[in-house]
Amino acid sequence: MKIIDFTEEYGKEYFCCLEDWSEEMKEAGDHKENWYNKMKDKGLGVKLAVDDNGKIGGMIQYLPVEQSFIEGKNLYFIHCIWVHGYKKGRGNFQKRGMGKALLKAAEDDVKSKGVKGIAAWGISLPFWMKASWFKKHGYKKVDKDRGTVLLWKPFTENAVPPKWIKQKKKPELVPGKVTVTSFINGWCPAQNIVYERAKRAASEFGDKVVFQEINTMDRDVFLEWGMVDGLFIDNKSVRTGPPPSYDKIKKKIKKRVKKL
């Protein structure tokens, strides 16, 4: 197994987070590719884990904190680390040390840039991006927002811990209409699927529903709202992880339309 730098010849695999076998991923559109093209000149780092047979089994992506969705200074932030764990497609690569190797490679890269530490987000539940996994590798909790934990690993004694940037406002309603507001950043295909499904579902109801897109790839827009991804039907938040089905989103919109 070896860790390599991403080059665009691996775009097919990377832009769909190694799930090129998935029919669901086809709904994600080209948002991640657009995000990559914007961020590649702003310090984005992407590394891939390749097994002895030349198959890509894992990936990590990380950015300067100033380009991320947390608050900090002179740090890098890990947007995600993922080792393919499904039997479908390329197969299960977990429990082979790929995650540990990817994390070390990213940390070494970041240290070489002279920054003071690296941060990551994790969740308390025992699946993807587990906070406990980062803690196992020397990361410490510094902030929490509901079930999402912010962790970091300082490289210097004078490093300043990062903070969450939390939601600052909710979407405004349009009188006499159902308002569907979807935040889109592009970094995560799962969230891109939510955006595309919500947009398509909203279009099914004609002028009874107004669809609003909030593009947080523009950092000023993100800072205005304090949230990078999300879906609201009227001003009620819809859980987006894992992505709700198209039918579920449509059903929620329909329920609100009936109350007009």
Q: Are strands 2-5 and 230-233 parallel, antiparallel or unpaired?
A: unpaired
For the chain, give the secondary structure using H, E and C.
CEEEECCHHHHHHHCCCCCCCCCHHHHHCCHHHHHHHHHCCCCCEEEEEECCCCCEEEEEEEEEHHHCCEECCCCEEEEEEEECCCCCCCCCCCCCCHHHHHHHHHHHHHHHCCCCEEEEEEECCCCCCEHHHHHHCCCEEEEEECCEEEEEEECCCCCCCCEECCCCCCCCCCCCCEEEEEEECCCCHHHHHHHHHHHHHHHHHHHHEEEEEEECCCHHHHHHHCCCCEEEECCEEECCCCCCCHHHHHHHHHHHHCCC
CA distances from 105 to 49, 60, 153 (A): 10, 9, 14
- Distance, CA of 185 to CA of 75 (rounded, Å): 21
Give CA–CA dist 166/174, Å, rounded: 24
**Cβ(58)–Cβ(84) under 8 Å?**
yes
What six digits make up the tokens of 25? 């991923």
pTM: 0.95
175 phi, psi to nearest 5 deg: -55, 135
Kindly list the structural domains of the chain, giving each domain's residue range(s) and its CATH number in brackets, ordered by start.
2-164 (3.40.630.30), 178-257 (3.40.30.10)
Place of tokens 């295909």: 189
Q: For residue 125, give Cα distances in angstroms to 28, 132, 148, 207, 238.
A: 25, 9, 9, 40, 19
- pLDDT per residue of the chain (260 residues) written in tens, 0 to 9: 999 999 999 999 999 999 999 999 999 999 999 999 999 999 999 999 999 999 999 999 999 999 999 999 999 999 999 999 999 999 999 999 999 999 999 999 999 999 999 999 999 877 789 999 999 999 999 999 888 999 999 999 999 999 999 999 999 999 999 999 999 999 999 999 999 999 999 999 999 999 999 999 999 999 999 999 999 999 899 999 899 999 999 999 999 999 99
> What is the distance between the alpha carbons of residues 184 and 194, in angstroms, rounded to a whole number?
9
What is the reported pLDDT for 63?
A: 97
